[in-house]
Amino acid sequence: MTSILLIEDDPLVRRSLELALSRHGYTMVTTGTGEEGLSSFEQHVPELVVLDLMLPGIDGFEVCRRLRERSQVPIIMLTARGDDLDVVGGLEAGADDYAVKPVQPAVLDARIRAVLRRAVSEPAGVRAHRGLRIDTESLTVTLDGELVPLTPTELRLLLTLSRAPGRVFTREQLLEEVWEHGYLGDSRLVDNAVMRLRAKLEEDPGRPAFIQTARGFGYRFGPV
């Protein structure tokens, strides 16, 4: 069973989500503060983290940043308001997706399953462009011979774009293929994931060699 670390300070919300997600078949570890969450992460090494942003002490933004420094574990953040600043801040800190509280367990379960599916394998082969090699069998990415650590979301995004070099994917298409949100998704998920991917792959993210912006449309893989 997939193990999930839930970091949520509200005891009622924490218990409710713990019970609901347990019924969906997940093994749950729960904590109420950022400090406890970071400690539990080291102890249990979960396969996914559900993280409330508004935590006492170390807030969810800082917890997310610290987790990203040590792991590519998928992170879904919970925000009470769906506030633009909260969402953007969480995504920039490294979260893969978000849900607005109060969140229905079935909705959160769907988000969890979608994030976990992003690491599934594609047809075997190696895609190469300049010094970048994408092995679709082992699901590894190397740049100039060095392994590039990617989150499942970043990997799925790169696999999708590199599947058809030169093709422009709209943000809506990427939301559908990578996040499985359809047209109701948030395009900021795409933009922030591209930003993080460029930071890992590009020598100069402002002049990308691998992921190009088609202004007004979306993104494509390949040279200018």
Confidence of residue 218 (pLDDT cuts 50, 70, 90): very high
The region of weakest confidence among 85-99, 111-125, 161-175 is: 111-125
122 pLDDT above the threshold of 90: no
Which of 72, 91, 117 is at the close of a domain? 117
Query: Are 52 and 74 part of one and the same domain?
Result: yes
85 pLDDT above the threshold of 90: no
Query: Are 16 and 88 part of one and the same domain?
Result: yes
Strands 97-100 and 126-129: unpaired
The per-residue pLDDT for range 178-194, each reduced to its tens digit, is: 988 764 568 889 999 99
For residue 77, give the H/E element and its range. Answer: strand 75-79
Query: Are 157 and 112 part of one and the same domain?
Result: no
Query: Are 112 and 24 part of one and the same domain?
Result: yes
Looking up residue 55, the CATH number of its domain turns out to be: 3.40.50.2300
Both tokens of residue 76?
Answer: 């879904």
What pTM was estimated for this model as a whole? 0.75
The per-residue pLDDT for range 50-63, each reduced to its tens digit, is: 999 999 999 999 99
pLDDT of residue 184: 57
pLDDT of residue 118: 76
Query: Are 142 and 53 part of one and the same domain?
Result: no
pLDDT of residue 198: 96
171 pLDDT above the threshold of 80: yes
- Of 159, 158, 140, which Cα lies nearest the Cα of 199? 158
pLDDT of residue 129: 85
pLDDT of residue 41: 97
How much of the chain exceeds pLDDT 90, in percent? 69
Query: Are 111 and 148 part of one and the same domain?
Result: no
pLDDT of residue 147: 95
Put residue 213 in one of left, alpha, beta given phi > 0 → left and psi -120 to 50 → alpha.
beta
Query: Are 68 and 86 part of one and the same domain?
Result: yes
pLDDT of residue 120: 61
134 pLDDT above the threshold of 60: yes
The chain-wide mean pLDDT, for the chain, equals: 90
Query: Are 159 and 61 part of one and the same domain?
Result: no
Looking up residue 166, the CATH number of its domain turns out to be: 1.10.10.10
Which of 77, 95, 117 is at the close of a domain? 117
Query: Are 94 and 194 part of one and the same domain?
Result: no
Q: Which domain holds residue 174?
A: 126-221
Give how many domains the chain has, as a whole number.
2
Query: Are 33 and 102 part of one and the same domain?
Result: yes
The per-residue pLDDT for range 92-120, each reduced to its tens digit, is: 899 999 998 889 999 999 999 988 887 66
Q: Where are the alpha helices (DSSP H) in the chain?
A: 11-23, 34-44, 60-70, 84-93, 105-117, 152-162, 171-174, 187-201
